[in-house]
């Protein structure tokens, strides 16, 4: 048995984008998490920002489209999914997303 869980607290990078596939609401948004640590060479602290692609489904997607805006602080719990797709130029793309189970506005 194995278990996978992702927990992120961060800021929304842009307003959610809502679309419908087979009458199911799907929203996506970028979430930034920032880590700060001491500079080993001294001086100012170092800040490293990571961007995560978050996907919300169903009622969560519709909620996000109505109430979440760029800059909002969120707590996200979910699982990682990696998918591959091919564009019109026949180039393959791979993306890793967090499929949200729980969403909380902070």
Chosen CATH of 6-105 out of 1.20.1630.10, 1.20.1260.10, 2.40.50.140, 2.30.110.20: 2.40.50.140
Confidence of residue 40 (pLDDT cuts 50, 70, 90): confident
* Residue 47: C-alpha distances to residues 35, 38, 76, 90, 104 (Å): 6, 9, 21, 37, 25
Confidence of residue 41 (pLDDT cuts 50, 70, 90): confident
Residue 9's CB is within 10 A of a number of other CB atoms, namely 12
Could you read off the pLDDT of 82-101 as tens digits, one per residue? Answer: 999 899 999 999 999 999 99
pTM for this entry: 0.86
Average pLDDT, the chain: 94
**Structural contact between residues 65 and 18, judged by C-beta atoms closer than 8 angstroms:** yes
């Amino acid at each position: 048995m194995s278990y996978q869980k992702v927990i992120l607290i961060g800021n929304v990078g842009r307003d959610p984008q809502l679309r419908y596939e087979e009458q199911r609401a799907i929203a996506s948004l970028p979430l930034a998490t920032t880590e700060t640590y001491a500079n080993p060479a001294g001086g100012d602290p170092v800040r490293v920002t990571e961007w995560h692609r978050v996907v919300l489904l169903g009622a969560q997607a519709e909620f996000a489209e109505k109430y979440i805006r760029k800059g909002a602080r969120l707590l996200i719990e979910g699982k990682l999914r990696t998918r591959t797709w091919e564009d019109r130029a026949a180039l393959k793309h791979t993306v890793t997303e967090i499929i949200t189970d729980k969403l909380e506005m902070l």
